[in-house]
Structure 1
Amino acid sequence: MSADRAALVRQARDSIAKGSKSFAAASRLFDRPTRERAWLLYAWCRRCDDLADGQDLGSAITVVDDPQARLAMIRDLSARALAGEATGDPAFDALGMVAAEVALPRAFVDDLIAGFALDADGFSPRTEDDLLRYCYHVAGVVGCMMAVVMGVSPDDRATLDRACDLGLAFQLANIARDIGEDDAAGRCYLPQDWLGEMDVPPGETMRPVYRPRIAVLGRRLAERAQAYEASARAGTPALSLRSAWAVLAAAGIYGDIAREVARRGETAWDVRVFTTKADKLGWVAKAGVQALGRGRWNGAGSRMGLWQRPRY
């Protein structure tokens, strides 16, 4: 490993350790080359997210004064990194390195940046389809990129569909967990037609009088997340044992977030939902057993009725 690469890997490792304990725990299950590439990809995703949302390693979202300028910076630095240029920002240099090592499709990078553009434009979904399109751009496409990092061919559409489904599951769980935090930041990812169905006026999702109705929508998001999580599991026979182990651990750890939101009901946003270290270790153990028996999912689990990602 070159000195430059070693430094980028160390910085990327530190980024995931501080930014996402769940993903950090799951990433340790990969073989070393895959683990390092996953860290490099994460570092870029995290840096872009922090730039777009005024965060520091996933801290609370803040309102930024210059969203379009930040978006332009993300686009410029990402393009330079993909062209093989040194950007002066380790996270963007990490993108250039991992993209070159695994032949990461440029379309996936562009699709993620399009998600940041949606937020910069003040996106709020009108329908469930709008919500899922947003989830693809900010998380589903990351699942596709991670699959390529794990050795899946960009032409293997079936496996990439399942990888996308896991990203969708993660984002739906995030949205369910963060309804209150998003409201505080002036954002709402609950579809407008869902809010209309529940007679919740725009901008009033966290008013106590509407909390029982929002709890219904929180459970609905959790149910959608579990459907995509189940679909994603059907893609693991295409992965190596260690990659499947990591994916199944992450699916379980993040799936528990959605399940806990559903369980708490109206109190889901009083205290932020998270998984404990013991929960994570439990899923590492369970996922190991599941990975060994993943052949039973081969050809199982129709995607009928699930959202379809863009085709290239």
Structure 2
Amino acid sequence: MTDRELDAAGIDDPALRAAYRHCRALNARHGKTYFLATRLLPVEHRPAVHALYGFARWADDIVDSLDPALGTDRRLEALTRLAGALETGLREGHAPQPVVAALAHTARRYGIDHAHFHDFMTAMRSDLTVTDYPTYADLRGYMHGSAAVIGLQMLPVLGTVVPRQEAAPHAAALGIAFQLSNFLRDVGEDLDRGRVYLPADLLAGHGVDRELLRWSRDTGRHDRRITAALREFEALTRGVYRQAAPGIGMLHPRSRPCIRTAFVLYGGILDAVRRDGYAVLHRRAVVPRRHRAVVAADGLTRVALARLRARGAGYATPPATPSPRPAAAPAAPARPVAEETV
């Protein structure tokens, strides 16, 4: 993380600065799409976003590591330790683990509801034992903790021009839309991990089951029934994006370019899957770099316009809730338990 970002955020403790840098590095390495969008945020708010996503990435990596030595029992132990560190960090405002230290500092500074973090950890634990979802309603229950709460955590950082509770449903929907996009793109990789996130009733409506997906993955052959099911899942996901879209205008003007850019880039995953003939069981669909660059350039233009309008309208930057300095500094950054790309 650049000194400019940390200076602008008023983070001057050396160990805490190192903790935030560690979170930024996790996001830059694993979350390229959202990391790009985050560069469009006001500089003083970027560290908080990196802390929130860095923690989510660390927990995800524990659950999804491809290391065969890290069996279910060891993953559960690691998640339990992380949950304990989280509880202590949120209560005391500091922690020895760098990712938890940055998260605890961000949660206190912006007054983020601790329930969002606890719901997230519940979803992560369920990933160790739940391998499919009978209905979309069941999947939505899981995604409340795995995705919706991420959007809700972000709201205090982004700021809103309406009461926060009015923007909350749209923020939650956007988190879910992003995750659904990843589920569609990663069908093959998730199948290799033993999971099927596409609802069983949606698949069955097209004559598809886990065995047929496994056959297609193993043989490299296509099946029109699978394509039809994936197309329906894409349509379902686009519907969630439509639910989320009104929330962008409810954000603070200086935060909108970041979220709008993420909205377009993640939506581009759906376009890439469609262009690739829904071959997600055989290869990962990729958003072209040129498209990413064009979207980022548009975001930069919107940032410049937002700054000009803010000066004219008298908008302040999204406020942070003042907080005391943590009672003790965190230790130097350590590598997370696992760092496989999800």
TM-score using structure 2 length: 0.77
Q: Deviations 1:9-53 (Å, cap 9, x if unpaired)?
A: 211221111111111100000011211110111111111111222
Which one of the candidate residues 137, 143, 150 is aligned to 2:145? Answer: 137
Cα distance in 1, alignment partners of residues 229 and 250 from structure 2: 34
Residue 273 of structure 1 is matched in structure 2 by 285
Q: How does 1:1-312 map to 2 (within 5 A)?
A: 1-2=11-12, 3-54=14-65, 64-84=72-92, 86-152=94-160, 156-208=164-216, 211-287=223-299
Contact 2:93 2:105 in 1 (8 A): no
What is the rounded CA distance, in whole Å, between the counterparts of 1:276 and 1:241 in structure 2?
Answer: 28
For the residue of structure 2 that corresponds to 1:188, the secondary structure is coil
What residue number does 2:4 align with?
Answer: none
Q: Unaligned 5+ residue runs, structure 2?
A: 1-10, 307-342
Q: Which 10-residue stretch deviates more, 281-290 or 121-130?
A: 281-290
Q: Structure 1-normalised TM-score?
A: 0.84
From the superposition, tell whether residues 46 and 16 of structure 1 become closer, same or farther in structure 2 (CA, over 3 Å): same
Matched-pair contact (CA < 8 Å) for 2:20–2:98: no
Larger Rg: 2
Between the aligned residues of both structures, percent identity stands at: 26
After superposition, what is the alpha-carbon deviation per residue over 1:246-305, rounded to whole angstroms, capped at 9, x for unaligned? Answer: 000001111110222133234233321122332222112344667869xxxxxxxxxxxx
1:185–1:123 CA distance, 2 compared to 1 (3 A): closer
Distance in 2, Cα, partners of 1:67 & 1:268 = 27
Report the alpha carbon displacement of residue 184 of structure 1 after superposing the two structures with TM: 1.1
Equivalent-residue separation in structure 1 for 2:171 and 2:265 (angstroms)? 16
Higher relative contact order (Cα pairs below 8 Å, separated by 6+ residues): 2
Superposed CA RMSD in Å reads 2.5
Q: Secondary structure at the match of 1:205?
A: helix
Instruction: Name the amino acid aligned to 2:137.
Output: D
Mean Cα displacement is larger for which, 108-117 or 194-203? 194-203
Q: Spell out, residue by residue over 1:91-138, the C-alpha distance to the aligned partner (whole angstroms, 9 max, x if none).
A: 111111110110110111111112112212224211111112222221
Tell whether the 8 Å contact from 1:12 to 1:39 is kept in structure 2 after alignment.
Answer: yes
Offset at 1:202?
A: 3.2
**Structure 1 residue ranges, 4+ long, deviating more than 6 angstroms after superposition:** 289-293
